[in-house]
Amino acid sequence: MLKALCIFFLIFLSSLLQAQVIGKIEVLGNKKTRTEVITREMRLKIGSIADSASIELDRRKIESLGLFDKVDATFRDSTLKITVDERWFIWPVPEVFNAENSFTFSKFKNIFTSWNGLAEEKVTLKLSLKHTNFRGNNEKLSASVSLGYNAGYELFYLIPWLTDKKLILQTMLFRRTLEVESEFDNSWQPLNLSSLKTLEQGGFLTLGRQIGFDHKIFAGVGYRNVQSQKDEPIKDIFLSPKENDKLPSLLLSYIFDTRDLIFYPNKGIYFESTFQRIGLTSTTANYWKSFVDARYFFPISKHQTLGFHILSQNSKGKVPVYDRYVLGSIYTVRGHFRDQRDGEQLFLTSIAYRFPILKTKHYKVRSFDFSEDYTDNFKFGISGELFFDSGDAWYQDSQRPNSFSDLQKGFGFGLNFHIPYREVIRTEFAFDEKFKFEFLLGIFVSF
3-state secondary structure of 187: coil
CA–CA separation, 228 and 239 (whole Å): 11
What pLDDT is recorded for position 372?
56
Residues of the chain with pLDDT under 70: 1-19, 99-121, 181, 183-195, 231-235, 282, 366-373, 399-400, 402
What pLDDT is recorded for position 105?
46
Q: What are the two backbone dihedrals, phi and then psi, of residue 307, each rounded to the nearest 5 degrees?
A: -115, 145
Which is the CATH superfamily of the domain at 17-86?
membrane protein fhac (3.10.20.310)
pLDDT digit string, tens, across residues 137-148: 999 999 999 988
Q: What are the two backbone dihedrals, phi and then psi, of residue 214, each rounded to the nearest 5 degrees?
A: -115, -10
Q: Which amino acid is at 42?
A: M
The kind and range of the H/E element at 155 are strand 152-162
What pLDDT is recorded for position 191?
66
Q: Which residues of 310-341 are buried (b: 16+ CB within 10 A; e: fewer)?
A: bbbbbbeeebbbbbbbbbbeebbbbbbbebbb
What pLDDT is recorded for position 16?
46
Contact 263, 444 (CB under 8 A): yes
Contact 311, 293 (CB under 8 A): yes
Contact 32, 86 (CB under 8 A): yes
Q: What are the two backbone dihedrals, phi and then psi, of residue 148, each rounded to the nearest 5 degrees?
A: 105, -130
CA dihedral 282, 283, 284, 285 (to 10 degrees): -20
What pLDDT is recorded for position 422?
81
Q: Which residues of 33-63 are buried (b: 16+ CB within 10 A; e: fewer)?
A: bbeebbebbbebeeebebeeebbebbbbbbb
Helix spans in 88-163 (H) = 105-113, 117-120
The kind and range of the H/E element at 349 are strand 345-363
What pLDDT is recorded for position 363?
85
Check residue 369 and give left, alpha or beta (phi > 0: left; psi -120 to 50: alpha). alpha
Q: Which amino acid is at 304?
A: Q
Contact 410, 395 (CB under 8 A): no
CA–CA separation, 279 and 297 (whole Å): 37
What pLDDT is recorded for position 297?
98
The residues spanned by each domain of the chain are 17-86, 324-447
Q: Which residues, other chains included, contact 222 with Cβ-Cβ below 8 Å and sequence gap of 6+?
A: 202, 203, 204, 205, 248, 249, 250, 251
CA–CA separation, 189 and 267 (whole Å): 47
CA–CA separation, 183 and 122 (whole Å): 18
Q: What is the DSSP string of 193-211?
A: -S--EEEEEEEEEEEEEEE
How many angstroms separate the most distant Cα atoms in the chain? 100
Q: What are the two backbone dihedrals, phi and then psi, of residue 29, each rounded to the nearest 5 degrees?
A: 95, -10
